[in-house]
């Protein structure tokens, strides 16, 4: 009877938020996910002894946990620890801004008190808005906000504690003593994480794999010009970055950390973001690593390189097995993840009941099993995904789904779970992969980290710093360490298109602070450009097509007539997805704009009809920076009701200055009198999509849209052109 193996790998990673030079954490996410995810994920597995899974642990994350254990803190933690009667107004502002930062439906709505306080706070997040709210909250309410935030970030294993469970039931009117005891429980919880992984790895139920120490994109460290292969039309940095010695150090220090903390080396790597290249693979092989995992898209393109033609995976047998490759005089194995199954867990199953989601997962696995030949081979399905960020969107932080999944897999007649190393110990004959296509799990290229104007500038800053430190003759290991931190992938992930985060200034500061520290520790003069944000040169995004003529569309929020918007100008947004929501499609698909003598018109076409997206988006913010500075906030009401319009800034607006309809799509008209300016002046603006007051999508990321005010003779001018 043929059998099918399933290798699940949960990837655990956070950027290195600790500033060595300042001895503080700038952001709290490593600690918060430690409370919610890093212990709970292996702890759930431990209840199912017949289930075997893998966890990929990034050393930079584990080092941060150790720093917390040693007593280092983040500002969020410090605010939570202070007695509420000692909080300054600045502390309270920070609390109101940040202590609701958790997924809404499964963490705020479920608590009557937390929901009440959230509604009292309102949807605004600007400093000016929150200042107006400060004195409407009592000290007891501030205390309850802190405790609820701590509870929301407490995983299921913490909530098993009788005291913590009683706090959940209590829901309101907490005491300082209760808060302090909860903080103590959380601090003790972090101490249990690394020992649990070590014990379960020693027992053989799980396997630990690693990533390069500070999570860099290894192929780009080896040579940024490798991006020319998979992104032939992307501009690259002015300075070629080629430091394979840094890539080797990132790998070697990762292996050394594992040997020191876990008592043995990892056999496998999930290269950061599944990014691979021939040079990166050679480094892994020469370091004694036996295998790595990347995405199925890399396999398709690698097979095409070998054959010289575009290739699709034409049989399941091709994907559901590792490939052997000889590099660095060593035999190396590559597993390729099933993208569809991995993404189902990461992006789809949160919207389904646990039993339905698990049934769907097993259904697809059984479909794979039935499609495979009964040829005596042990085939393997690799499911690899983020092990922390998806769960806050699931009921009970994914506990029901994971429990049901592991229960089903424990007793399945033909599907058995395995680790990658155990699979390789049972099998040895695999097809040879002659050539390896460079790329990552995202689009089989590196566009998330290179090829954008701002990303490229960051690479130039990094190249300058590495060259300066290496040429200085100063062998200060602290300078080298700061550079290794700055090589991490996350800074480049957030710079420029297509990603957006409201913490962009913090990420930018961390990147520049580490480069600055490298210069200082090498006793070098600090370049002036590191004193300013990398994004200081704002992108002006020109229209894909300017308006062909003046337009005066009817605003009804419906796609009623193609012709009324057909002459409009537009920006194509498909290449500029800014949505944070776990890899989902961007909300806005296309932005049309145009003018008549009285109004500036905007139409937003969405990937779904707006009335089907009420749980995802409930407003937008249109910000003009030229010719006048003003902000228009559109609150989208349910069931096609009239949207609520709020205008702020250096303007005085009447009811006729801003018109809007939002039903299936969004249409706006802003009076040219409100915008100001004269024909030929430029309009600089950007748009943010909102959900409960929080920005979930911005276009363009870090820049502005450009339009030009037309003259009364615009139609004649365009006809002549």
β-strand pairing of 666-671 with 694-699: unpaired
Residue 314 banded pLDDT, cuts 50, 70, 90: low
Q: How far apart are the first and last CA of the chain?
A: 72
Of 478, 484, 534, whose CA–CA distance to 509 is shortest? 534
Which pLDDT value is given to residue 407? 98
CA distance 6 to 438: 26
Range with lowest mean pLDDT among 348-357, 680-689, 707-716: 707-716
Residue 280 banded pLDDT, cuts 50, 70, 90: very high
Output the DSSP codes for 383-450: EEEESSSSGGGSGGGGHHHHHHHHHHHHT-SSEEE--HHHHHHH-----B------B-TTTTS-TTTS
Per-domain residue ranges of the chain: 1-446, 453-537, 541-720
CA distance 569 to 550: 10
CA distance 647 to 657: 10
Helix (H, G, I), strand (E, B) or coil at 467: helix
Q: Residue 311: is its pLDDT beyond 60?
A: no
Of 669, 672, 677, 670, whose CA–CA distance to 626 is shortest? 677
Predicted confidence (pLDDT) per residue in 408-452, tens digit: 999 999 999 999 999 999 999 999 999 999 999 999 999 999 999
**What residues pair up with 685 in beta bridges, in sequence order?**
624, 705
Threshold 0.85, pTM exceeds: no
377 vs 559, more confident:
377
CA atoms within 13 A on the CB side of 377: 17
Range with lowest mean pLDDT among 257-266, 319-328, 489-498, 642-651: 642-651
Which pLDDT value is given to residue 581? 32
CA distance 366 to 120: 49
Q: What distances in angstroms separate CA 114 from CA 150, 360, 390, 532, 693, one per listed residue?
A: 11, 34, 22, 39, 16
Who contacts 678 (Cβ-Cβ below 8 Å, separation ≥6)?
A: 709
Q: How many secondary structure helices (H) and strands (E) does the chain include?
A: 29, 23
**Are the CB atoms for 315 and 295 separated by under 8 Å?**
no
Give the Cβ contact number of residue 445 at 10 Å: 22
Helix (H, G, I), strand (E, B) or coil at 8: strand
Which pLDDT value is given to residue 193? 98
**Torsion over CA: 264, 268, 273, 275 (sign):** positive
Of 600, 592, 605, 617, whose CA–CA distance to 696 is shortest? 617
Residue 606 banded pLDDT, cuts 50, 70, 90: confident
Take residue 107 and report the two structure tokens written for it: 């963490």
615 vs 344, more confident:
344
Arithmetic mean of pLDDT, 146-168: 98
Q: Residue 584: is its pLDDT beyond 60?
A: no
CATH fold group of domain 541-720: Immunoglobulin-like (2.60.40)
Angle ∠(39,394,199) on CA atoms, nearest 5: 15
**Are the CB atoms for 342 and 319 separated by under 8 Å?**
no
Take residue 499 and report the two structure tokens written for it: 């990603």
CA distance 228 to 372: 36
Per the listing, tokens 């929301």 go with 152
From the CA atom positions of the chain, what is the Rg in Å? Answer: 27
Take residue 545 and report the two structure tokens written for it: 């097509």
CA distance 77 to 184: 12
Of 299, 297, 288, whose CA–CA distance to 323 is shortest? 299
CATH number of 1-446: 3.20.110.10
Residue 544 banded pLDDT, cuts 50, 70, 90: confident
CA distance 462 to 468: 10
For 537-666, where are the alpha helices, taking DSSP H only? 562-565
Q: Residue 87: is its pLDDT beyond 90?
A: yes
3-state secondary structure 78-95: HHHHCCHHHCCHHHHHHH
CA distance 204 to 96: 45
């Amino acid at each position: 009877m043929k059998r099918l193996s399933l290798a699940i790998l949960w990837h655990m990673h956070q950027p290195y938020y600790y500033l060595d030079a300042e001895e503080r954490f700038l952001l709290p996410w490593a600690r918060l996910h430690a409370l919610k995810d890093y212990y709970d994920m292996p702890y759930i597995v431990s209840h199912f002894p017949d289930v075997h899974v893998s966890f990929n642990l990034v050393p930079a994350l584990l080092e941060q946990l150790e720093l917390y254990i040693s007593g280092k803190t983040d500002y969020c933690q410090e605010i939570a620890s202070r007695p509420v009667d000692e909080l300054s107004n600045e502390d309270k502002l920070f609390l109101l801004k940040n202590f609701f930062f958790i997924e809404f439906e499964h963490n705020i709505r479920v608590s009557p008190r937390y929901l009440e306080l959230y509604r009292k706070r309102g949807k605004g997040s600007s400093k000016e808005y929150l200042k107006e709210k400060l004195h409407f909250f009592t000290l007891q309410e501030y205390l309850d906000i802190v405790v609820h935030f701590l509870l929301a970030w407490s995983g299921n294993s913490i909530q098993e504690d009788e005291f913590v469970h009683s706090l959940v039931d209590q829901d309101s009117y907490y005491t300082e003593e209760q808060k302090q005891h909860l903080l103590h429980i959380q601090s003790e919880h972090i101490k249990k994480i690394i020992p649990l992984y070590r014990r379960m790895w020693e027992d053989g139920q799980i396997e630990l794999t690693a990533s390069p120490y500070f999570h860099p994109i290894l192929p780009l460290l080896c040579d940024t010009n490798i991006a020319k292969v998979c992104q032939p039309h992307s501009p690259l940095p002015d300075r070629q970055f080629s430091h394979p010695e840094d890539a080797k150090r990132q790998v070697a220090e990762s292996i050394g950390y594992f040997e020191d903390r876990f008592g043995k080396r990892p056999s496998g790597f999930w290269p950061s973001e599944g990014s691979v290249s021939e040079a990166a693979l050679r480094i892994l092989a020469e370091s004694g690593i036996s295998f790595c995992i990347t995405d199925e898209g890399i396999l398709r393109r690698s097979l095409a390189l070998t054959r010289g033609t575009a290739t699709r995976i034409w049989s399941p047998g091709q994907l559901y097995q590792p490939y052997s490759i000889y590099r660095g005089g060593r035999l190396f194995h590559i597993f390729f993840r099933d993208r569809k199954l991995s993404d189902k867990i990461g992006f789809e199953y949160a919207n389904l009941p646990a039993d339905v989601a698990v049934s769907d997962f097993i259904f697809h696995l059984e479909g794979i099993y039935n499609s495979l030949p009964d040829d005596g081979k042990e085939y393997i399905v690799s499911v690899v995904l983020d092990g922390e960020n998806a769960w806050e969107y699931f009921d009970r932080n994914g506990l029901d789904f994971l429990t049901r999944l592991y229960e089903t897999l424990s007793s399945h007649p033909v599907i058995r779970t395995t680790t990658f190393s155990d699979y390789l110990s049972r099998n040895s004959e695999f097809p040879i992969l002659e050539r390896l296509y460079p790329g990552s799990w995202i689009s089989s290229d590196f566009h998330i980290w290179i090829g954008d104007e701002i990303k490229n500038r960051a690479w130039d800053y990094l190249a300058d710093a590495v060259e300066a430190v290496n040429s200085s003759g100063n062998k200060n290991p602290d300078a080298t360490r700061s550079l290794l931190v700055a090589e991490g992938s996350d800074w480049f992930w957030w710079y420029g298109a297509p990603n957006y985060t409201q913490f962009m200034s913090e990420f930018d500061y961390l990147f520049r602070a580490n480069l600055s520290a490298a210069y200082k520790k090498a006793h070098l003069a600090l370049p002036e450009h590191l004193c300013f944000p990398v994004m200081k040169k704002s992108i002006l995004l020109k229209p894909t097509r300017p308006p062909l003529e003046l337009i005066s569309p009817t605003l009804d929020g419906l796609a009623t007539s193609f012709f009324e918007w057909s002459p409009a100008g537009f920006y194509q947004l498909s290449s500029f997805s800014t949505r944070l929501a776990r890899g989902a499609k961007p909300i806005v698909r296309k932005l049309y704009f145009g003018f008549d003598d009285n109004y500036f018109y905007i139409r937003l076409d969405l990937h779904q009809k707006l009335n089907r997206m009420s749980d995802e988006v409930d407003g937008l913010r249109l910000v003009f920076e030229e010719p006048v500075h003003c902000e228009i906030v559109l609150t989208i009401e349910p069931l096609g009701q009239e949207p609520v319009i709020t205008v702020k800034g250096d303007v005085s607006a009447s009811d006729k200055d801003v018109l809007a309809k939002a039903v299936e799509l969004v249409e706006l008209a802003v009076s040219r009198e409100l915008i100001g300016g004269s024909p030929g002046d430029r309009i600089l603006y950007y748009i943010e999509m909102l959900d409960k007051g929080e920005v979930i999508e911005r276009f363009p990321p870090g820049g502005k849209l450009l339009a030009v005010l037309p003259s009364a003779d615009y139609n004649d001018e365009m006809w002549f052109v």
